[in-house]
Structure 1
């Protein structure tokens, strides 16, 4: 801290340390909340951040199991950047995140990242599209299609699509951006564009929406869903939630393999 005639201001060293101190204070705040919950209600507390599709399928049964063990769970939902920011800032104990297979998120030494499942990315086309008759669609036959992509440039699925298209000599043309899969399905059904959609985001009623869902032939397109947590919380409720999430993920993958999900 440097004091001058106009008051105190941070030195360069202070400015560099400030983000780390904010994270530490946030984690201290979490500890205080846990202690307060334990004193008042006899229960441990756990704060979880998740992106929407994982929050819908993976979390509910896992959270129910923890609630039955006396753990008070609160959940915040957001897109990947805000989920990662919340974990790094220490405002949540554990987070569901995703990345490209083989390219895990780099969260730093203070965090543990455990893979849960690899969710295939499938092609969404209008039911009347001429390629919808195929069991799987070669990506190079989609070079003239417009694409609905994620709302932000960081989207791992979009980067994966762009790389796969580049390997086939073309660049996907973006005609719309959204992170809402209900909106995406609606616009694909009208014939506006094609899109990639995670298996986790399928409801089983896509045919009733005039959609055709097909695998992409010759391309392994998927996203790795993982659970990330502070290393210091692995042995507590966060570790228990991770175990429940692993069980739930195994069940989901089993339904994919036997064709019931």
Structure 2
């Protein structure tokens, strides 16, 4: 693992908050997730960055060195973001996304709703990196997901709208799986499976899965973290794992997507933009394009269409 800006942000928030719990709340992640991230950072830096005392988390000498460097780097990135906002008229709209199913059709919709406006799209595997890129001037707007109650902290100057609320997650199974013939799958029946997640799931997904499985009476075996969506489909097809799936995810050879009974895991899809970079009318048009892109996915699976038709109150306005 290499250190990234989001790792520096995490270290700074721990130092500012004085505890992992308070820092996790400020970052919008769970405390176990932040604790695991800190251990990975410490492996890269070569030693402990904090010690626990009666006053909370205090930086070690190595921690103070890392914090001083992090402060300079983040300050310079913020300054760079300020300069990056001064883009010439007619410059491309810079859009950042995570791996959402609507991404496949989003560019077509932006061509319709923003004709003549060049749009560039970068795909990130980390929601934290997207948010940081929005604040630092790399992106004018971002499209991202949040799972269950997880909330992604946004930078100053950012505005956001919820595109889809309460989307029920499904499960992707091998087509010859004993549960593949069911109309819906009980999470408890997946207790013995190996699970796959994306390599950087900081949208609350792994935590939501663990909590849902705990309510179903088991702890999931999170064996694989893979960045490539096509590779993850191939591993499911070979029977190596099962995975959470957006309900509009495309069909893939050798796999099926089935809804989870009772919708134990739900998600939100959101659009955020920096008000200094994107005029309000363009933000409205981008929102409309994203809404149409999502609607294009609802017929990928009959159960998704049924959910969509049954919940008009959740449709984007």
TM-score bracket for the superposition, by shorter chain length: 0.7 to 0.9
Specify which structure has the bigger relative contact order, considering alpha-carbon pairs within 8 angstroms and separated by 6 or more residues: 1
Structure 2 match to 1:151: 199
Q: Which runs of 5+ in 2 are unaligned?
A: 1-66, 309-317
Distance 2:295 2:257 in 1: 22
Structure with bigger gyration radius: 1
Structure 1 match to 2:279: 235
Displacement of 1:126 in angstroms is: 1.5
Kindly indicate whether residue 240 of structure 2 is the aligned counterpart of residue 192 of structure 1.
Answer: yes
Instruction: Please give the root-mean-square deviation of Cα atoms over the aligned residues, in Å.
Output: 3.1
Specify which of 224, 227, 250 is matched with residue 179 of structure 1.
227
Q: Which runs of 5+ in 1 are unaligned?
A: 1-11
State the TM-score, normalized to the length of structure 2.
Answer: 0.65
Distance 1:54 1:109 in 2: 28
Which stretches of structure 1, 4 residues or more, deviate above 6 A after TM superposition? 12-15
Structure 1 match to 2:215: 167
Specify which of 47, 67, 77 is matched with residue 22 of structure 1.
77
Displacement of 1:250 in angstroms is: 6.2
Displacement of 1:100 in angstroms is: 1.6
Distance 1:58 1:115 in 2: 18
Please give the per-residue CA displacement for 1:111-148, whole angstroms capped at 9, x wherever unaligned: 11211124432111122222222211111111111111
Choose between structure 1 and 2: higher strand proportion: 1
Structure 2 match to 1:7: none
Distance 1:122 1:94 in 2: 28
State the TM-score, normalized to the length of structure 1.
Answer: 0.77
Please give the per-residue CA displacement for 1:203-231, whole angstroms capped at 9, x wherever unaligned: 23x3xx22222111123323211111113
Please give the per-residue CA displacement for 1:85-134, whole angstroms capped at 9, x wherever unaligned: 21121211111111124433121442112111244321111222222222
Please give the per-residue CA displacement for 1:10-58, whole angstroms capped at 9, x wherever unaligned: xx99974762453233232231xx32xx3xxxx3532111123356335
Is the contact between residue 114 and residue 285 of structure 2 (CA under 8 Å) also seen in structure 1? no
Distance 2:298 2:226 in 1: 30
Is the contact between residue 132 and residue 212 of structure 1 (CA under 8 Å) also seen in structure 2? yes
Distance 1:48 1:203 in 2: 22
